[in-house]
A and B are shown apart, each in its own frame.
Chain A
């Protein structure tokens, strides 16, 4: 890829001034492509010190918090306020996340976000969650469902629970939807996130649990497509034996593995596109046979597939 992929878009030239003046409310010009090192650093500092980020956390609903500012799952807006500037730096300047159709996201009431999963490390979930905090009006907290072994990891357990993430058991999902929260699930699970590069943007088998949950709780489903995450870590081969040995769901070998070892799965600065679909409402018996529930699941899967295709069409390159 040439200069075009690395450093164009409306962040450079006369269009940038227009974009700036048009000022999409909170969102400034998208991305840092093609700025000098000093300018880039200045912008990172600006995001880091941006008081508006804290203000947006203050505007989040505090309905389900107890007297000490914690919700039943350990989520704490005060903690989130402290870490969000760092996440925002990654969101705006490293992955330069661009959202599409975020106006389709319901700003209140229960909602089940369903997204494709990719990128070896679960950055996609973090970026979807951050987009609702930084780019949605009014901001909203999204509760991502994580694997059961995450709380067994030191520090990760505290970080994930304080930021509002929850272990993805059916009981927890039900409790959150009951409280009219928005939750995020990846029905592909680890099959999606650890797939090799040759299967990029191919949706893996979807679990049916999320659909039964949506039917039971009468929660609208918001399909989300993440475009860009597939290229953040290029897995050439999934070394299953090694994965079993260390107890991980996958052991991806990337082009950077010979150089960096296990750190080869760290994400490269790809550009993220997040595409939100129209909310879908399904009615039916949550305990119905797989065949009938499967039809609804395929409907959601097709919606996500459509959004992925749209994202691949609108993006100019992997890094821009």
Chain B
């Protein structure tokens, strides 16, 4: 009898990727509002909101061993009541179900952006560093609260093995800020700023999630890929032209363009083009024996050169 894994937010790009890795060895259940047309046959998909009653039915009718909680909106176009409720209420419900239906393992995909990039951000932040990334936007505050909610759950319910992963900028087919940025035909950089960046390939994040599924893995883990490198070096390696913009003009303009749907790079991640925010991933390397398989060039491979505009239209 294989383990039963419930993936929330299975229809997202990362959920699909993870499913491809999981479904041969595990019984995979999925919950998502969005469709997952090319889902493998052995995956049972429930098209529901994680806040709905039906979600509890999924927990009630299956003996779920592991929950992988991916259903968090990281870059909604308009930040309003909707995203706030979805993220926080949804996560709270999932936590309650995990407790009530004796789930053994809970894995939450948080993000290392929560530490926040600022002029005096300390270097190589460990897992116990304060989460200051929420001070700029409502979404940031929500994501910090979400992470805290899960951390509190980790302490309050030792019977559920909880692992919270905080990966650095995930790049690949996913539709998040960093990937959308790298898909732009010309990469904008801020005039006079060149922060160090940590990127991680989505396949490596998958590997980290799988590593976190091993029994005994619990706690908060920063997950990072190849060593940190300056933004201009990343841009150089993609082979794309770079556009230098003064940040005073850049910020307000980008926010407008993003909310109007003209621009795919979320404005609240602008600070990451200006200041460094790097994490110390020694814990995940030591305790989960995780080592990223993709080096920087392999990580950036999908974004290399190409005809301008061809890739960015996807988002």
Q: Are A72 and B123 in contact (CB under 8 A)?
A: yes
Chain B residue at smallest Cβ distance from A151: B119
Chain A residues with CB below 8 A from B119, complex form? 148-152, 157, 167
Name the distance in Å between B296's Cβ and chain A's nearest Cβ. Answer: 8
Q: Give the A interface residue count (CB, 8 A).
A: 23
Q: Which 6 A-B pairs have the closest CB atoms?
A: A154-B192, A66-B227, A151-B119, A155-B192, A171-B122, A72-B123
Cα distance A157–B275 when bound, in Å? 9
Cα distance A153–B191 when bound, in Å? 10
Name the distance in Å between A79's Cβ and chain B's nearest Cβ. Answer: 10
Q: Are A70 and B122 in contact (CB under 8 A)?
A: no
Q: Are A154 and B191 in contact (CB under 8 A)?
A: yes
Q: A154-B191, A158-B193, A158-B194 are in contact. Are A68 and B122 (CB under 8 A)?
A: no
Interchain residue pairs with CB less than 8 A apart (13): A67-B227, A68-B228, A70-B227, A72-B124, A72-B278, A74-B196, A148-B120, A151-B120, A154-B191, A156-B192, A167-B119, A169-B120, A175-B123
Q: Are B229 and A157 in contact (CB under 8 A)?
A: no
Q: Are A154 and B193 in contact (CB under 8 A)?
A: yes
Residue A73 interfacial (CB < 8 Å): yes
Residue A172 interfacial (CB < 8 Å): yes
Name the distance in Å between A49's Cβ and chain B's nearest Cβ. Answer: 27
Chain B residue at smallest Cβ distance from A156: B192
Q: Are B275 and A151 in contact (CB under 8 A)?
A: yes
Interface residue range, chain B = 20 to 34
Name the distance in Å between B228's Cβ and chain A's nearest Cβ. Answer: 6
B interface residue numbers (CB < 8 A to A): 119-120, 122-124, 190-196, 226-230, 233, 246-247, 275-276, 278, 296
A interface residue numbers (CB < 8 A to B): 66-68, 70, 72-74, 148-158, 167, 169, 171-172, 175
Chain B residue at smallest Cβ distance from A175: B123
Chain A residues with CB below 8 A from B196, complex form? 70, 74
Chain B residues with CB below 8 A from A154, complex form? 190-193, 246-247
For A157, give its contact among B193, B246, B278 (CB under 8 Å).
Answer: B193
Cα distance A169–B118 when bound, in Å? 13
Q: Are B229 and A70 in contact (CB under 8 A)?
A: yes
Q: A153-B192, A154-B193 are in contact. Are A172 and B122 (CB under 8 A)?
A: yes
Q: Are A68 and B123 in contact (CB under 8 A)?
A: no
Cα distance A175–B123 when bound, in Å? 8
Chain B residues with CB below 8 A from A157, complex form? 119, 192-194
Cα distance A66–B247 when bound, in Å? 29
